[in-house]
Amino acid sequence: MTVALAATLSALSATLQAPSAQASADLDYEAQAVATTNLHRTLNGLAPLRPSACLGRFAQRHAQRMADQRRMFHRDLAPILRRCDLSSVGENVAYGYSDSRAVVSDGWMLSAGHRKNILEARFRLVAVRAVQSGNGRWYTAQVLGAR
């Protein structure tokens, strides 16, 4: 599993380019979190999730809100259902994980509710956004959905 994960993440990281160091760090973190999520899904016999711009906008706003307030919290998911035209939606949030692979593997996959979201067979879409607060702590929001 570690070799497959490293190869997948290396290939993914090599294709990312961003205009600034912070933008690059954010994109790397987010892309690696999605890749790690999809690796766990694949290892459990599930289809990988596809990125969603609509879910990304909600994940970005929520990660930013948590970073601004320097606390982790869940949000009302009803607006996401309506605005992204989904039949089902789930959310995982975290803070303090500077490594995107760790937020998925050591955080969400070791928590029953978060793991259930990641391994929900109905989900086909995903977005992960991560924002660093002023003190450097990462706040991460993952939104998963099904049409």
* DSSP output for 53-89: HHHHHHHHHHHHHHHHHTS------HHHHHHTT-SEE
Range 139-144 average pLDDT: 96
Between 58 and 23, the more confident residue is 58
pTM of the complete model: 0.80
Between 39 and 22, the more confident residue is 39
Taking a C-beta distance cutoff of 8 angstroms, is the pair 82, 141 a contact?
no
Task: Tell the residue number behind the tokens 């809100």, with chain if given.
Answer: 65
Taking a C-beta distance cutoff of 8 angstroms, is the pair 30, 97 a contact?
no
Between 50 and 100, the more confident residue is 50
Range 73-80 average pLDDT: 93
Give residue 102's pLDDT. 92
pLDDT at 35 over 50: yes
Of 1-5, 59-63, 84-88, 126-130, where does mean pLDDT reach its minimum?
Answer: 1-5
Task: List the strands of the sheet with 50-51, edge to edge.
Answer: 50-51, 125-132, 138-146, 88-95
Using CA atoms, how far apart are residues 90 and 128, in angstroms rounded to an integer? 12
Range 102-124 average pLDDT: 96
87-107 per-residue burial string, b: 16 or more CB within 10 A, e: under 16 = eebbbbbbbebeebbebbbeb
The percentage of residues in the chain with a pLDDT greater than 70, rounded to a whole number, is: 82
Q: How confident is the model at residue 98 (pLDDT cuts 50, 70, 90)?
A: confident
